[in-house]
Amino acid sequence: MPVSVNEDIPPMIDFWIHEYEDRNKTLEKGEFVGIPTDMVTIKPHGSRDTVDRIYTEWLQHIKEQANVGRFPKDWIVMIQKKYDAWKNGTPMPSFGTPLNGWIHADPNTLKACLAARITTIEELAAASEESLRHLGMNSRILKKKAEMYVNQEKIPSSEEIRATIKD
């Protein structure tokens, strides 16, 4: 199943380790012998679908796609930084401005956004209808504020935005 690319927001990715069986060593030893393999779960922004891939194979694939213009090259650099951070056990960098600390995101909003896997203002600005449903009440106002922030526009009060949005 191909993973589509949202032109503005990179896919959300998580890394993990899977042990594939080393069949010859398993037969030789008489018990399971695994080969630890770094995996990546890819979730295109705004989608509920995920795809699991072997990280090295997926990285090679997206590099090939970038060479023909089907995947943004700057995303590859950020993906590699996220992978390196994961391998080193350090916090992974975000693709954009973190929601944490944004004046328009109170603690409950942050909690809801994290549950919907939205971690940056740019991701919030590009949130799909499905993501907005997960965020609940006032999600369209929050999205509008994020859009205005990304476009460097003055952000009015929630009441002023509410008057312009049809739920």
Q: Please classify residue 6 by burial: count the beta carbons closer than 10 Å to its beta carbon, then call 0-12 exposed, 13-18 middle and 19+ buried.
A: middle
Q: What is the mean pLDDT of residues 141-158?
A: 87
45 CB neighbour count, 10 Å cutoff = 22
Judge whether 141 and 163 are in contact, CB under 8 Å: no
pTM comes to 0.59
DSSP state of 137: T
- Residue 166 confidence (pLDDT): 64
Mean pLDDT of the chain: 84
Per-residue pLDDT reduced to its tens digit, 30-55: 999 999 999 999 987 666 688 999 99
Q: Name the pLDDT band for 99 (thresholds 50, 70, 90).
A: confident
- Residue 23 confidence (pLDDT): 93
Per-residue pLDDT reduced to its tens digit, 112-135: 887 777 888 888 888 888 888 888
Is the pLDDT score of 6 beyond 50?
no
Judge whether 16 and 53 are in contact, CB under 8 Å: no
Q: Compute the distance between CA of residue 158 and CA of residue 138 in angstroms, rounded to an integer.
A: 9
